[in-house]
Amino acid sequence: MRHPAPRIQRFRQLHESGCFVIPNPWDLGSARYLAGLGFPALATTSAGFAWSLGRRDNRVTVEEALIHLDTIARGVDVPVNADFEGGYATDPAFVETHVAAATTTGIAGLSIEDSSANAESPLFELELAVERIRAARRAIDTSETTVLLTARSEGFIVGRPDLAETIKRLVAYAEAGADCLYAPGVRTLADVTAIVDAVAPRPVNVLATGDHFTVDQLAKAGVRRISVGGALARTAWTGFIAAAREIAELGRFGQLGAALPSSAIEASFEPGTAAEVP
């Protein structure tokens, strides 16, 4: 078996105890800034990346996603988890192929979700969803990278906020080989605790998009990992849109004056080439 890269080892160790925040950059500049703040790991955001290309979420090709993952993972010196959407395929065989390709980019982890993009049936049938996680597991095992696999159940963000069904799916995904479990959209500590207890001892990721929880509250609930999804990208777009609309609609430039000076932003980045992946 190939010895796992140090960065993957560090990422797996982060999930063994305690609780850490894994923020989501959308490009290399935001990734380097977040790494510079001392976060121990980063995670990509499919939505933030899509918006940077002028597209809606889930409108990026697997080829574009792989290039993006390579750019981020090799451009920072902390572990990077990939928001790999649904594996960019429905068929488990294609999910396996795409996950295998993702393991070559330098990422330390990736997530596979169970949303189907079908408004009438927004989640894949459980049997198919489980097979897709098994396919991702096979790809990682074959790669011998030990990339950490996160399985996501999307019910709370696709109009199916059923805690019992979510837990049933997460338990099944854990049994299928997922290393970490994640149900974005959960909003109460009671629901978070129920999920943590149901999949223990496997670690749980919780999505923070507003003032629903604090890091301390989630840590006490047993959560290992906290991500923010596209929220940082939305925050950046909020400021950009407000300033742009002020110019377009009012002919004024007031919000530009509140922006950080170029020197402050430049100071966040060291000159030189991208980091090498150990």
Residues of the chain with pLDDT below 70 are 1, 271-278
Specify the pLDDT at position 272.
55
Looking at residue 84, its amino acid is F
**What whole-number distance in Å separates Cα of residue 67 and Cα of residue 201?**
34
Domain ranges of the chain: 6-266
Q: What is the CATH number of domain 6-266?
A: 3.20.20.60
Specify the pLDDT at position 274.
47
Summarised one tens digit per residue, pLDDT across range 89-131 is: 999 999 999 999 999 999 999 999 999 999 999 999 999 999 9
Residue in the structure block whose two tokens are 């090709």 = 61
Nearest to 99 by CA among 140, 64, 131: 140
